[in-house]
Amino acid sequence: MTPDSGAKRIALLDRDGTIIVDKVYLRDPDLIEFAPGAIEGLKLLRDSGFVLLLVTNQSGVARGYFDEACLARIHDRLEAMLARHGIELAKIYYCPHGPNDNCQCRKPATGMVRQAMADFGFCAGHAVVIGDSDADMRLAEASGIRGIRIGSEPGSVRNFRMAAEQALELVSEPQLATLGCKSRSS
């Protein structure tokens, strides 16, 4: 999928613990396992016209657990597994840095979201962040984007399917016509 400037709904998706089971520094593409409700929820978002973007911290690269070539193999396999279900990620954004590297891309920093906004021409009102961590929700807040958390914490939804249903309510088609894209620095 290629970026365009039309008003689209955007789902910024965390990877580990959100669309796949968190294996803690996943190094083996064969160990990818979809999280509960992930396929159903991704299909729901796709069928509702959302552009699906992966936004993931991958500090295993900085920590030396795996290299970027291994990460590429993991993402290639993930995309192939999704394709079997007719699901396409428009783009994968990842941060290879560690928590103490002071980069601008590691969530909750907004670098990956700012790049996605530039690449796909959307504004905060047209997007939702779906993730399972404090960093994901702080990213959403710092970017002015609504966040949906998956997990057992108060206010969270139990699985990705439920998160997708909530996303449809938060970024509905009629809202796109009324939500203007205002410039916001982050």
The single-letter code of the amino acid at 1 is M
Nearest Cα to Cα of residue 91 among 52, 118, 122, 128: 52
What burial letters (b/e) apply to 21-44, b meaning 16+ CB within 10 Å?
eeeeebeebeebebbebbbbbbeb
Provide the 10 A C-beta neighbour count for residue 179: 15
Contact predicate 110/135, CB 8 Å: no
Q: How many Å apart are CA 141 and CA 147, to the nearest integer?
A: 7
Q: Assign 171 to helix, strand or coil.
A: coil
Of 16, 47, 101, 119, the catalytic one is 16
Of 4, 14, 76, 101, the catalytic one is 14
Q: Give catalytic status of residue 47 as yes or no.
A: no
Q: Give catalytic status of residue 28 as yes or no.
A: no
Instruction: Give catalytic residues, as residue numbers.
Output: 14, 16
